[in-house]
Amino acid sequence: DGGITQSPKYLFRKEGQNVTLSCEQNLNHDAMYWYRQDPGQGLRLIYYSQIVNDFQKGDIAEGYSVSREKKESFPLTVTSAQKNPTAFYLCASTSGGYGQLTNTGELFFGEGSRLTVL
Amino acid sequence: AQRVTQPEKLLSVFKGAPVELKCNYSYSGSPELFWYVQYSRQRLQLLLRHISRESIKGFTADLNKGETSFHLKKPFAQEEDSAMYYCAFQGSARQLTFGSGTQLTVLP
pLDDT at A63: 95
Cα distance between residue A41 and residue A34, in whole Å:
15
Cα distance between residue A36 and residue B85, in whole Å:
16
Q: Coil, strand, or helix at residue B1?
A: coil
pLDDT in tens, B53-101: 788 899 999 888 888 999 999 999 999 999 999 999 887 666 788 999 9
Residue type, A114: R
- Which of A6, A54, A109 best probes binding to B when mutated, by most B CB atoms within 10 angstroms? A109
Task: Provide the shortest C-alpha distance from residue A96 to chain B (in Å).
Answer: 9
**pLDDT-based confidence at residue B28 (cuts at 50, 70, 90):** confident
**pLDDT-based confidence at residue A2 (cuts at 50, 70, 90):** low
Q: Which residue, A37, A50, A56, A42, is CA-closest to A110?
A: A37
For residue B27, pLDDT beyond 90: no
B49 CB contacts (<8 Å, ≥6 apart)?
A: A104, A105, A106, B32, B33, B34, B35
Question: Do A82 and A110 touch, CB atoms closer than 8 A?
Answer: no
Q: What percent of chain B has pLDDT over 70?
A: 96
For residue A9, pLDDT beyond 70: yes
- Residue A106: Cβ-neighbour burial (10 angstroms; 0-12, 13-18, 19+): middle
- Which of B5, B25, B98 best probes binding to A when mutated, by most A CB atoms within 10 angstroms? B98
Q: DSSP of A32-91, one letter per residue?
A: EEEEEEETTTEEEEEEEEEETTEEEE-TT-TTEEE--SBTTB--EEE-TT-S---EEEEE
Q: Which residues of chain A make contact with B96, given a CB cutoff of 8 A?
A: 33, 45, 105, 107
- Residue B57: Cβ-neighbour burial (10 angstroms; 0-12, 13-18, 19+): exposed
pLDDT at B56: 87
Question: Do A69 and A52 touch, CB atoms closer than 8 A?
Answer: yes
As a whole number, the mean pLDDT across chain B is 91
**pLDDT-based confidence at residue A83 (cuts at 50, 70, 90):** confident
pLDDT in tens, A23-60: 999 999 989 999 999 987 889 999 999 889 999 999 99
pLDDT at A99: 46
Chain B residue with Cα closest to A43: B98
Q: Which residues of chain B make contact with A35, given a CB cutoff of 8 A?
A: 98
The number of angstroms, rounded, from the C-alpha of B81 to the middle of its chain's C-alpha atoms is 12
Q: Which residues of chain A make contact with B90, given a CB cutoff of 8 A?
A: 105
Q: Which residue, A33, A19, A23, is CA-closest to A3?
A: A23
For residue A101, pLDDT beyond 60: no
Contact A111/B43, CB-based, under 8 Å? Answer: yes
